[in-house]
Amino acid sequence: MEYRQLGASGLKVPVLSFGTGTFGGGGEFFKAWGNTQVDEASRLVNLCLDSGLTLFDTANVYSQGLSEEILGKAVIGLRDKILLSTKATFKMGEGPNDYGSSRFNLIRSCEDSLRRLKTDYIDIYHMHGFDGNTPVEETLSALNDLIQSGKVRYIACSNFSGWHLMKSLSVSERYGWAKYIAHQAHYSLLSREFEWELMPLALDQNVGTIVWSPLSAGKLSGKYRRNSPIPQDGRIAQGGGEGPAVPDDFFYGIIDVLDQIAAETEKTVAQVALNWVLNRPTVSNVVIGARNEEQLIQNLGAIGWNLTTEQIKRLDKASEKAPIYPYWHQRNFLPLNPLPEFYG
């Protein structure tokens, strides 16, 4: 297992982490992700540890706490061998303060997560989304207090826009508070918008990227091809909770190239898609999920080898999207706004 430095911190993380959104299966939304219970979760955790994968990612909102509870039971006796990452901000109750990144909600949410995870501290605590109703100073002050109390080791954010993250970093610097060391963001061959602003920001500010859904909800798993299309009445065809559905021609054009490169490398389509993400600038870690041991073993096969530069360029060409304003305008002046260095 390769380890990489996480942003401007001293923390080293494995390049793959295990996402436990499939644990619990509570509610219709998360039931569609998976329904892993404690016994199978324990087997998956041990399989991860055998491969050197030591970072486990969850969130309080996953199955309304069930994911954290199951993960907490699955790692009993293993706390000194693993890193735990969880999140707060999204709705956990019907009360007016059961939502957001206020001091009130963050401290309570952190304590609830600690109890469910059966641990005294969280290694990486994410704000699951930006709360535009709470002053940034209040959120970051509360997070800094959680670090000072020993309940949290590092803080990170998720699903922020560029100005959300930059303002947060600026406020932390102004007051001498802990900074977000990582941004957990959606990024895949099907969704490369991260490159337009968030990647240059991460390079400039030394913020590590933790990638969620690198296979785009399974669309890049190798299951779907032109002769085996995505069912049009299903969740994935409608976007799968990951934004607008992509045009068929664009999607299958990427799959065609993935198939070609999978044959060249003797890897699976999913392994090629994951390896592409691992080769991108700022990426410290990629979150993989699995409903069962077979899927987990396949995803673990994405490391220990690398695509060639020529293969990466072919995938880049197939997956390139026309940027929106102001990025298309900036690309007319690349000497002023150079792109990230993708090919080293």
pLDDT digits (tens, 9 = 90+) for 129-159: 999 999 999 999 999 999 999 999 999 999 9
Please give the Cα distance from 161 to 159 (Å, whole number): 7
pLDDT at 242 over 90: no
The H or E element that residue 84 is part of is strand 83-88
Between CA 81 and CA 86, with CA 83 as vertex, the angle to 5 degrees is 145
Question: In this predicted structure, what is the pLDDT of residue 187?
Answer: 98
Cα 217 from Cα 240, distance rounded (Å): 6
Confidence band of 225 (pLDDT split at 50, 70, 90)? confident
Specify the range with the lowest mean pLDDT, choosing from 54-58, 86-90, 197-201, 231-235: 231-235
pLDDT of residue 155: 98
Distance CA 83, CA 216 (A): 25
Which long-range contacts does 243-252 make (Cβ < 8 Å, 24+ apart)? 243/186, 243/191, 246/190, 250/321, 251/190, 251/219, 251/224, 252/225, 252/226
Secondary structure of 266-303 in HEC code, one letter for each residue = CCCHHHHHHHHHHCCCCEEEEEECCCCHHHHHHHHCCC
Cross-strand pairs, 56 = 18, 84
Q: Tell me which of 225 and 33 has the higher pLDDT.
A: 225
The share of the chain scoring above pLDDT 90, in percent, equals 88
Which residue's structure tokens are 């090629």?
Answer: 272
Give the C-alpha separation, 47 to 51, whole Å: 7
Q: Are 170 and 135 a contacting pair, CB within 8 Å?
A: no
Classify residue 94 as exposed, middle or buried by CB count within 10 Å of its CB (0-12, 13-18, 19+): exposed
173 HSE (CA, 13 A, CB side): 9
pLDDT at position 243, please?
76
Indicate the angle between helix axes 269-278 and 293-300, nearest 10 degrees: 50
Give 330's pLDDT tier (boundaries 50, 70, 90). Answer: very high
How far is the C-alpha of 134 from the C-alpha of 138, rounded, in Å?
7
Q: How much is the pLDDT for 240? A: 52
62, 154, 187, 224: the catalytic one is 62
Q: Which residues contact 51 (CB under 8 A, 6 or more apart)?
A: 1, 300
Tell me the two tokens of residue 57.
Answer: 């990612």
Please state the three-class secondary structure of 187-255 as a single string: CECCECHHHCCHHHHHHHHCCEEEEECCCCCCCCCCCCECCECCCCCCCCCCCCCCCCCCCHHHHHHHH
In this prediction, residues 2-8 reach a mean pLDDT of: 98
Assess whether 62 carries a catalytic annotation.
Answer: yes
How would residue 228 be classed by pLDDT, with cut points 50, 70 and 90? Answer: confident
Residues 123 and 163 sit within 8 Å (Cβ to Cβ): no
234 pLDDT band, cuts 50/70/90, is low
- Measured CA to CA in angstroms, residue 317 lies from 272, 276, 322 at distances of 15, 13, 11
Query: pLDDT per residue over 16-67, tens digit each?
Result: 999 999 999 877 777 677 788 999 999 999 999 999 999 999 999 999 999 9
* Residue 172 clears pLDDT 90, i.e. is over it: yes
One-letter amino acid of 124? I
67 touches 20 (CB < 8 A)? yes
Q: What is the mean pLDDT of residues 252-262?
A: 97
Question: Which residue type occupies 137?
Answer: E
pTM attached to this predicted model: 0.95
Burial class of 182 by CB neighbour count within 10 A (0 to 12, 13 to 18, 19+): buried
